[in-house]
Every structure is written in structure tokens, then in C-alpha cells.
Amino acid sequence: MQDTETSTPPAAANGSDDLLIEVDGQLVPNYDATLVPFEEGDVVSGNVVRIDQDEVLVDIGYKSEGVIPSNELSIRKSVDPHDEVELGEEVDALVLTKEDQDGRLVLSKKRARFEKAWRRIEAAADSGEPVEGTVIEVVKGGLIIDLGVRGFLPASLVDIRRVQNLDEFLGEKIECKVIELNRSRNNVVLSRRAVLEEERKEVRQQILDRLQPGMVVEGAISNIVDFGAFVDLDGIDGLIHISELSWSHVNHPSEILSIGDVVPVKVLDIDRDRQRISLGLKQTQEDPWQRVVDTYSVGDELEGKVTKVVTFGAFVEIMEGVEGLVHISELAQHHVENPREVVEPDNDVKVKILEIDSDRRRLSLSVKRVEAAQAAAMRSGGGAQAGAGGGEQGGEIGEVRDLGLSEDVFAGAEVSIEGSESLRAAVEEAQEGAEEAPPAEERPPAAEEPPAAEEPPSAEDDEQPSE
């Protein structure tokens, strides 16, 4: 009879927590019990055991180390593995492949971080709590924030006021609120401005309660737009409309202001419900209209510069900050179809004040009335000089004073001063001939008219016999 040997399956040793098994009466390590069970897509933990230029090896308790390629270490681009992990550091990684074609266990640190970060971001979006991340890139239109997920922070939401240089935020840790979340597109949109506004909400209300219309306060220019300038009043912005910047005409606020300028402003109006403040800059400066009222009167003539030409006339600045209108009908003595026929911007002109309307702050001016007065003065002066010259020279034509008139005024007048002698001689000769002529009574009678011709004899008369 032949003995038959039967093998018994290994059994775990008592008190060994399955780490030791009994095989053929001997205790041997249970290697299978040391393996961590996982599947692809699971997040596992392990220690970094090696760092190379293109990959990192991690011991997760599997039969072989897991490999993390360098492009799976971080959401940043072109990273150095030595900057992302250290030897012995415990890291979380997502299992991409349990065994690739080379038999390697492939892991991803950035995707494990992404999954954790996404759950955290979803919770923050639901609760309204801010999330913290580091600025890793400056892109067109904003910043990229590393939250474990690439979050986009638009430039307009980086601060309460517009930031001119986004590079100054690079590498900084900032808190933002999640305002848009889309898992299918891995899209996260953030707002730092929302966090800042919430922090300053209480401060803004205190400022609004303190400010009153009519107060003069100081602020820094925070932004300049086409329609005006915004002023930071220690936590809340007020608007200076372009019409409230200066007493004189302003084409664009940048002509007189720059971002960062500290200026005194007057509070014109406060909308407490909408938290809006209207400010004025020109109200803190001397009103030039008061100088006009104190200095000039209707009928005064003064010099000015043409600032703008419009279809109905031209605006003339008579002093800094004060413009008056010369209506098209007051530009010249003749009819004017287009004001540019007579004046252009920057022309220096002399004007006469026709009206000062202090209530409406309007000034009516005239150019043609100054010219008319000058022409009348010239004519008056020329006539007086001609009369005086006639008394001295016995009616002879004297020297003609230069009146500054155009040669066109005398177009068609061909008689020169030198030809006046021959003209006077002809007049004197005619006058002498008139004096030598006899009176009408002494003139000889006119010759009598000759008698009418006799009619020729008829035929009957020829037939009568002669006596």
C-alpha cells in the first residue's frame, strides 16, 4: 500500500493580523496581505522614494512602485519635479493604469488634487465661502489661480478698481469667491472683488453715513473714463462727471487728471440706496463768472480767442474758464453762410459784450459791432482831416491818410492825385467861358425863317393871254 501525501492550504497564524501564514507547519510572511486593494480611478497615498527629471516614483504598498510622469505632477506648465515633491513626502495620487504596456503602475498627483479640489470648490460655491489659491499665470484678460483646478480670475474682478498691471499679483496667494462652476468643461470663474467688497461693505456704509452734500473732502483718482473720473474716498468710489471737472470746456478727463492724483472734491449728491456719490472738482476752484460780473459791463470791448466754431456761430474765451457766444449774425457786417468763412479755432478776435446773463451763465458777444465802431471812427477822423487840409491849401487836394483799407474798396477809381491839376484846369476854363457869355437879353435875335417857296403857276394861267 502506497502512502499518499495531502497538502493543506496555508492558514493564518493566530494574532498575526493575517501578516503571517502557516505553510507546512512553518510561519511565513503573507505578502498578499500587505498589498493595498485599489482600482483604476481610485485615489491612493504613498511616499516619494525617487525623483528623476521626467518622473517620480512613489511607494503605495503595491508589488511595484507607482510612477508619476512629470506632466502629471501639477497643473502648472513645464514644472521641475524637484520643485513639486521631496523625498519621503507623502502624496496622494490617482490611479491611471494598474499596469501599462511596460508593466508599470501609472499615477497622477495633479488629478488626485483636482478631484479633492473640485469637491472643495463645489462646497465653497454652495456656501458662498471664499477659496484660496496662488496666482500662477497672467493671461489675456485676467489671471490663472491654482486651486488644484485652474481657476480664471477676470481682470475686472481682481480689485474694486481697475488694476493697470496684473503682473504684480504673480505668485501671490489670494482669496476669491466662486461665481461660475462647470464640471463638464472644468471651468471655474472667480472674483476677488466680491471678497473685497464684502469686507468693505461695513466701511462703505460708515462712509456714506458720514458724508453730506456740500462737504469738501479729499480723494485719489482711481479710474478715468470718457464721461468722467472716479475718486476713491477711503473705501467707496464717487464720480466726477466731465461737466463738473472744470469751469472751462474739457474734451476728455485725462486732459486735467491722472490716476493716483489726490484732489479736493465737493459732495454734490448722495444716493444712499444705490450707494452712489456725485462729486464736483470745479466747485473747489474760484468761479470765473464772478470775475466777469465784477470786471466787465455790457458794451465793453475786449480781446478773446476762438475756442470752437459751430454752425450757429463761434465760442470765444475772454478769460480762463469763461466763454461767450458770437452768434453767426454778429460775426461780420456782411451776410455769413458758414462761420468758418470768418473765423477759425485759435483766432484772436476783438469782441463787444452785448449781454451778461449771470443766472444762466451765458455771455453774448459781437465781432461786427466792434468793426462797425472802428470803421465809423476812421470815417470821422478822415473827414475832419480833409476839412482842415482844405482850409490851409485853398481847396487843393492834400496828403491822403492811410486808413488801412483794402485796395478793393477803391476798385474802379482811376483818377490819381497827380491828375487832379488837369481836372481843375478844365473846370476853371469852363467857369471862365460861362462868365464871358452875354446875358440872354443882349444876345442877337435869331435869324428869321426864309419865306415859303411860291407855288408854280398852273397850266390854266399859262393859257391866259397877256395884256
Top pLDDT among 103 and 268 is at 268
Q: Given this model, what pLDDT does residue 379 score? A: 77
- Which pLDDT value is given to residue 22? 64
Which DSSP letter does residue 39 get?
-
Which residue would you say has higher pLDDT here, 10 or 420?
10
Q: Which of the residue ranges 22-31, 125-134, 297-306 would you say has the lowest mean pLDDT?
A: 22-31
The confidence band for 158, taking pLDDT boundaries of 50, 70 and 90, is very high
User: Which of the four pLDDT bands, split at 50, 70 and 90, describes residue 466?
Assistant: very low
* Contact indicator for 363, 292 with CB cutoff of 8 Å: yes
Average pLDDT of span 128-147: 91
The least confident of 109-123, 212-226, 380-394 is 380-394
pLDDT in tens, 303-361: 999 999 999 999 998 887 788 999 999 999 889 899 999 999 999 999 999 998 878 88
Domains of the chain: 43-111 (2.40.50.140), 128-196 (2.40.50.140), 211-284 (2.40.50.140), 290-371 (2.40.50.140)
User: Which residue is it, cell 523625498?
Assistant: 87
Amino acid 385: pLDDT: 53
Task: Identify the band that residue 417 occupies on the pLDDT scale cut at 50, 70 and 90.
Answer: very low
pLDDT computed for residue 465 by the predictor: 42
Q: Over 50: is that where the pLDDT of 406 sits?
A: no
Which pLDDT score is estimated for 183?
82
C-alpha triplet 365, 378, 337: angle, nearest 5°: 40
Three-state secondary-structure class, residue 351: strand
Residue 463: all three cell numbers together: 393859257
Q: CA 100, 101, 103, 104 torsion: positive or negative?
A: negative
Query: Which residue's entry shows cell 490716476?
Result: 259
> For 24-68, how does the pLDDT look when each residue is reduced to its tens digit (9 = 90+)?
666 666 555 556 677 777 888 889 999 888 888 998 878 778 898
Please report the pLDDT score of residue 452 as a whole number. Answer: 44
Between 98-102, 310-314, 366-370, 396-400, the lowest mean confidence (pLDDT) is in: 396-400
What pLDDT, on a 0 to 100 scale, did the predictor assign at position 453?
42
What pLDDT sits at residue 269?
A: 92
pLDDT given at position 449: 46
The pLDDT of residue 405 is 40
- Is 181 within 8 Å of 147 (Cβ atoms)? no
Tell which wins on pLDDT, 160 or 153: 153
- Residue 401's pLDDT is 40
Arithmetic mean of pLDDT, 108-124? 86
Pairing mode of beta strands 173-182, 131-139: antiparallel
pLDDT of residue 35: 62
Residue 425: pLDDT band (50, 70, 90) is low
Name the residue among 411, 405, 416, 398 with its Cα closest to residue 378.
405
- Whether residue 450 is predicted with pLDDT greater than 50 in this model: the reply is no
Return mean pLDDT, the chain.
Answer: 77
> What confidence tens digit (pLDDT) does each residue in 372-383 have?
878 777 777 655
- The CA–CA distances, whole Å, from 154 to 75, 162, 223 equal 19, 11, 17
DSSP secondary structure letter of residue 343: -
CB 343 within 8 A of CB 309: yes
- Output the CA–CA distances (angstroms, integers) from residue 262 to 61, 162, 217, 220, in the order listed: 65, 17, 10, 4
Predicted local confidence at residue 102, as pLDDT: 81
φ and ψ of 358, to 5 deg: -65, -35
Q: Residue 34: in which H helix or E strand, if any?
A: helix 31-34
Distance set, CA 124 to CA 82, 120, 179, 372 (Å): 31, 6, 10, 81
193-238 tens-digit pLDDT? 999 888 877 788 888 888 899 999 999 998 899 999 999 888 788 9
Per-residue pLDDT, 233: 87
pLDDT tier at 432 (50, 70, 90 boundaries)?
low
Confidence of residue 17 (pLDDT cuts 50, 70, 90): low
DSSP 199-261: HHHHHHHHHHHH--TT-EEEEEEEEEETTEEEEE-SSSEEEEEGGGS-SS--S-GGGT--TT-
Cβ neighbour number for residue 276 with a 10 Å cutoff: 14
Going edge to edge, which strands form the sheet with 26-29? 11-12, 20-23, 26-29
C-alpha cell at 263: 484732489
Q: Assess contact for 370 and 301: CB atoms under 8 A.
A: yes
Confidence at 410, pLDDT banded by 50, 70, 90 = very low
pLDDT tens profile 392-404: 444 443 343 443 4
Predicted local distance difference test score (pLDDT) of residue 9 = 56
Give the residue with greater pLDDT, 176 vs 454: 176
Q: Scanning the structure block, which residue is given the C-alpha cell 478822415?
A: 382
What confidence score (pLDDT) does residue 436 get?
Answer: 52
**Arithmetic mean of pLDDT, 399-420:** 42
Compute the average pLDDT of residues 97-115.
84
